[in-house]
Structure 1
């Protein structure tokens, strides 16, 4: 019985050692599990912080995207308004170019009419020279007739009256031709000035047409780029 008890005691001692070893192993495993749990908790906290940071970044991106979208809409609206303005400017410039061309054509027509009027004025001047020559001859004939009537005495009185009327008519014709010549001179000077002004206007209209064409091309390029 003593031997059996001794054997049982030895077995219990072995069992106690085994239990202590197992307990130590369990304690070590528990420590490892605790450390791993702490590491995982720290990792979870880091991941949670990263998720929060990512969420904040996404919110900022969303906000920025909304602002960019709003700004893009404003830019589109501004571009559309600019394109509309460019089209309006293009129509206005085209109309201006047509008006400048019409002014140039009208100026050339006016210049042609003025030249024709100048030629007619010169023809009138030639006629006035002829009329003035006739009035001088008539005045000379009236003077000779008056001399002859005076020499004829009483019988030439009626002829003297006719001669006096002829002389008066010749004087009036000469005075009228002098007045008309002065008026024609003024008209001719006015015509010459009008010709110069018309030629200058035609040149300016042509230059304006050239500049307007350049403006039209520029506006067309601007409108195309805006669109």
Structure 2
């Protein structure tokens, strides 16, 4: 009986051991599965860390390129600003030069008008001289006729009449030459007036364009 009781106890102990062993095997399987899951998670985390590091490197590289491009843009903007300031000074100088040209052209136009008025006055004087020469020529002819009618006693008077006629002819020829010269001068004055007016208009247009350029810059 004691032996049977001992065998029964050993059987119970064996069953308990088998149950404990099964429990241990199940726990070991769970631990192994959990370890594998953790290993896979660690690998995923490592891959994510590597990807994050690569992204950070790309961002750093892109940031360096952006910084370089920004420096280039700043340098270009500064150069453009310097060029714009130089352009503004040049445009301002051009506008002042246009104003000076316009003032000079207006002054020249005024002088030309004065010269034109003087040439007209000279023309009137020439007309008077020409009229005098024609009258003198007529008087010389009348004197020559009277001298011829007087005969021998009017010979000296005929010489004087001949000289008066010669002087009248010379005066008339001179007035004709002066009139021709005055005509050329008047045509030149008219041309100068038109050119001066055109210069004033062009200087005004240039001033307007300079102002527009200055506002644009």
TM normalised by structure 2 equals 0.91
Moved more, 179-188 or 77-86: 77-86
Q: Verify: 1:54 aligned to 2:65, yes or no.
A: no
Q: Look up the match of 1:27.
A: 25
Once residues 42 and 78 of structure 1 are traced to their aligned partners in structure 2, the CA distance between those partners, rounded to angstroms, is 53
Once residues 64 and 200 of structure 1 are traced to their aligned partners in structure 2, the CA distance between those partners, rounded to angstroms, is 60
Structure 2 unmatched ranges of 5 or more:
none
Task: For residue 56 of structure 1, report the CA deviation from its aligned partner.
Answer: 1.2
Structure 1 unmatched ranges of 5 or more:
220-227
Once residues 132 and 46 of structure 1 are traced to their aligned partners in structure 2, the CA distance between those partners, rounded to angstroms, is 122
Q: Verify: 1:93 aligned to 2:91, yes or no.
A: yes
Match of residue 185, structure 1, among 136, 159, 183:
183
RMSD in angstroms over aligned alpha carbons? 1.8
Task: For residue 122 of structure 1, report the CA deviation from its aligned partner.
Answer: 0.4
Q: Look up the match of 2:196.
A: 198
TM normalised by structure 1 equals 0.87
Once residues 37 and 74 of structure 1 are traced to their aligned partners in structure 2, the CA distance between those partners, rounded to angstroms, is 55
Q: Look up the match of 1:121.
A: 119
Moved more, 199-208 or 126-135: 199-208
Match of residue 106, structure 1, among 101, 104, 107:
104
Q: Look up the match of 1:146.
A: 144
Once residues 60 and 215 of structure 1 are traced to their aligned partners in structure 2, the CA distance between those partners, rounded to angstroms, is 45
Task: For residue 7 of structure 1, report the CA deviation from its aligned partner.
Answer: 4.5
Q: Look up the match of 1:225.
A: none
